[in-house]
């Protein structure tokens, strides 16, 4: 069971979600939502109440992956999203009231007995409300261009005290149909989820609670292709972060690559479907639009290599599909993100790095940072490997030369004897910072000189980045450290994943496993939060995040494999 106050109720493929609106409703009431319009809109469609003799009842919520149950002393109601656009509800002893969250032009119209259409213009969606057992009482007085209110009471049959109804989304013309009984629809969803759960990566038994939560979050956060979304897309959350971002999707793809490779490939390629002619990838995408004001770091080469290591799914045809897009993405950074033409690419804003407010940006931008060059060194190396697999020998050699040349420039430019630094582009002024982002070059592993690797590892272990719970993104004794400071302190899943991988690449297996254990223990206890307090392990921001779930599962699999190896 999960806490509906933190974890939304939804299902694979659906834009329909049930959760409280903490920002506007202090009562903690539950709302049926439409999450199609991005994270600027909570998407409330109907408020949910249990009723008896016309009065609202207090209730407790019980959330399981396939069903949401609301329990009152007088009775209960159950909700199941049996299809992506179909919400089925049944109750015993109580009725269910749906109160429309309405705006201009919203209206309800009678279709036939116990069947009403609600046109929710604010959410650009229509809803067919049908009572299968019991009846609908609709209160929707129309005045001028809209209904003043829309309140639908679904009331149980007097004899049995039972009610069943269906709410179905549609956009233009409703296609009359019959619906399976609630119990049948619920059984279908249970089987679908069980199959997903069986394909979820293995984790040690001590993290069973975390695995159950991570499995549900990743399953329930997938939406179907629609509008700008060309493939099934795993949203970051169905709480508030209702988009996909252009590095978040990589971690979700990695968690799917072993057991669900087709869906993993869709997660990886969906941003390349939207790629600009210049080579740039949008910052985020939802069904309505792409945002081009920012982008995210080029971890795609690193991701692709880790994906093809999982199985044989990424064939030569798949590599042919991604080769030119990956070239364009790489060249965009090298061509358009180097304003002083020194051969070192730059971030024009913290958002482009993924570390939005990291202290490397506290004196302004553009900033040349060693993590960016590290990603591109790996990405060009991967392009060389792809070119070789495609029989493009000359291109393979050229990409390898470019990769090695950037590695040399990067070390010369950023290494200051004891540490990597970030610099202002143009002036090359060193930015004083205690950010963990300066240790991301560990992902280069043994491509770096031994003395550099040792000092990076020592910096992580001896300076204080590694707390009881994992890797803080800013040194806890830094004057800029904030417990809930986004990238100025909290522990994050993607940075944990990148640095764990870097430690493994550097031969620091025991330290990598320690980091993985700390993270998995914290996430299993505190939930799949967007980030965590580095000193207490408390979950912060959005409590139901998919990339956290994905990294938990990937690191859990690593620990499982280690346990089997030692066993």
**pLDDT of amino acid 548:** 98
pLDDT(73) > 90: yes
What is the DSSP annotation of 133-149? ESEEEEE--EETTEES-
Within 10 A of 323 (CB to CB), how many other CB atoms are there? 17
Mean pLDDT of 29-33: 97
CA distance 488 to 463: 16
pLDDT tens column, 324-342: 999 999 999 999 999 999 9
**pLDDT of amino acid 39:** 83
pLDDT(564) > 80: no
pLDDT tens column, 182-198: 999 999 999 999 999 99
Longest dimension (CA), the chain: 83
**pLDDT of amino acid 28:** 85
| Top CATH class, 199-566 | mainly alpha
Percentages helix, strand, coil for the chain (3-state, rounded to 5) are: 40, 25, 40
> Which residues contact residue 453 at a Cβ distance below 8 angstroms, ignoring those fewer than 6 apart?
442, 445, 446, 506
CA distance 131 to 124: 23
Among 243, 378, 259, 386, CA closest to 320: 386
Q: What rounded mean pLDDT belongs to the chain?
A: 96
Strands (E), 416-525: 422-424, 430-431
> Which residues contact residue 429 at a Cβ distance below 8 angstroms, ignoring those fewer than 6 apart?
363, 423
Tokens representing 523? 């996430």
Domains of the chain by residue range: 16-177, 199-566
Mean pLDDT of 477-505: 98
pLDDT tens column, 75-126: 999 999 999 999 999 999 999 999 999 888 999 999 999 999 999 998 899 9
**pLDDT of amino acid 25:** 62
Lowest-confidence pick of 71-80, 136-145, 344-353, 508-517? 136-145
**pLDDT of amino acid 567:** 58
> Where does residue 152 rank: exposed (0-12), middle (13-18), buried (19+ CB within 10 A)?
buried
pLDDT(461) > 70: yes
**pLDDT of amino acid 24:** 66
Q: Residue 558: enclosing H or E segment and its boundaries?
A: helix 546-566
**pLDDT of amino acid 430:** 98
pLDDT(27) > 80: no
**pLDDT of amino acid 165:** 98
This prediction has a pTM of 0.97
**pLDDT of amino acid 144:** 85
CB 172 within 8 A of CB 527: no
pLDDT tens column, 154-179: 999 999 999 999 999 999 999 999 99
Q: Is 120 helix (H, G, I), strand (E, B) or coil?
A: strand
pLDDT band at 26 (very low <50, low <70, confident <90, very high): low
Q: C-alpha angle with apex 445: 453 to 201, nearest 5 degrees?
A: 130
> Which residues contact residue 28 at a Cβ distance below 8 angstroms, ignoring those fewer than 6 apart?
5, 20, 22
Beta bridge partners of 110: 116
**pLDDT of amino acid 115:** 97
Q: Which residue has the higher pLDDT, 217 or 121?
A: 217
Sheet of strand 75-83, all strands in order from the earlier edge strand to the far edge: 60-64, 67-72, 75-83, 86-92, 162-170, 125-133, 115-120, 107-112
- 16-177 CATH: 2.70.98.10
CA distance 36 to 1: 26
Q: Residue 93: enclosing H or E segment and its boundaries?
A: none
Mean pLDDT of 547-555: 98
pLDDT tens column, 421-449: 999 999 999 999 999 999 999 999 999 99
Mean pLDDT of 534-541: 98
């Amino acid at each position: 069971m999960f806490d509906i106050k933190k974890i939304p109720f939804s299902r694979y493929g659906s834009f329909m979600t049930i959760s409280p609106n903490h920002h506007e409703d202090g009562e903690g009431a539950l709302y049926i939502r439409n999450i199609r319009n991005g994270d600027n809109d909570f998407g409330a469609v109907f408020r949910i109440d249990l009723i008896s003799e016309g009065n609202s009842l207090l209730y407790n919520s019980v959330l399981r992956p396939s069903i949401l149950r609301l329990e009152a002393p007088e009775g209960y109601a159950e909700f199941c999203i049996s299809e992506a656009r179909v919400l089925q509800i049944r109750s015993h002893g109580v009725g269910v009231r749906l109160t429309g969250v309405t705006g201009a032009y919203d209206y309800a119209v009678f279709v036939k007995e116990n069947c009403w259409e609600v046109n929710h213009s604010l959410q650009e969606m229509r809803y067919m409300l049908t009572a299968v057992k019991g009846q609908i009482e609709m209160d929707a007085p129309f005045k001028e261009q809209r209904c003043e209110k829309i309140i639908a009471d679904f009331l149980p049959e007097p004899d049995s005290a039972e009610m069943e109804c269906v709410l179905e989304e549609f956009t233009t013309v409703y296609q009359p149909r019959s619906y399976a009984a609630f119990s049948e629809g619920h059984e279908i969803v249970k089987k679908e989820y069980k199959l997903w759960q069986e394909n979820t990566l293995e984790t040690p038994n001590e993290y069973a609670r975390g695995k159950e939560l991570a499995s549900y979050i990743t399953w329930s956060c997938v939406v179907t292709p629609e509008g700008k979304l060309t493939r099934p897309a795993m949203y970051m959350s169905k709480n508030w972060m209702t988009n996909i971002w252009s590095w978040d999707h990589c971690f979700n793809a990695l968690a799917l690559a072993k057991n669900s490779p087709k869906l993993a490939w869709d997660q990886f390629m969906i941003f390349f479907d939207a790629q600009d002619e210049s080579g740039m990838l949008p910052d985020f995408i939802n069904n309505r639009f792409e945002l081009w004001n920012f982008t995210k770091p080029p971890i795609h080469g690193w991701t692709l290599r880790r994906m093809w290591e999982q199985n044989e799914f990424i064939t030569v045809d798949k590599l042919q599909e991604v080769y030119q897009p990956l070239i364009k993405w790489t060249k965009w950074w090298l061509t358009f993100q180097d304003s002083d033409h020194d051969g070192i690419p730059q971030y024009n804003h913290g958002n482009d790095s993924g570390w939005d407010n990291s202290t490397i940006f506290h004196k302004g931008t553009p900033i040349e940072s060693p993590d960016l060059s590290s990603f591109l060194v790996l990405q060009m190396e991967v392009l060389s490997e792809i070119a070789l697999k495609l029989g493009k020998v000359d291109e393979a050699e050229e990409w390898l030369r470019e990769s090695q040349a950037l590695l040399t420039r990067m070390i010369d430019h950023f290494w200051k004897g004891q540490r990597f630094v970030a610099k202002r582009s143009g002036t090359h002024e060193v930015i004083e910072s205690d950010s963990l982002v300066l240790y991301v070059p560990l992902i280069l592993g043994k491509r770096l000189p031994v003395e550099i690797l040792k000092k990076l590892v020592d910096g992580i272990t001896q300076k204080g980045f590694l707390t009881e719970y994992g890797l803080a993104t800013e040194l806890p004794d830094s004057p800029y450290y904030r417990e809930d400071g986004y990238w100025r302190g909290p522990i994050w899943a993607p940075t944990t994943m990148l640095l764990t991988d870097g430690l493994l690449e550097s031969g620091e297996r025991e330290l990598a496993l320690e980091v993985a254990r700390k993270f998995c223990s914290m996430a299993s206890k505190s939930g799949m939060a967007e980030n965590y307090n580095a000193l207490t392990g408390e979950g912060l921001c959005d409590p139901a995040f998919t990339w956290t779930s994905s990294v938990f599962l990937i690191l859990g699999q690593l620990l499982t494999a280690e346990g089997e190896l030692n066993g």
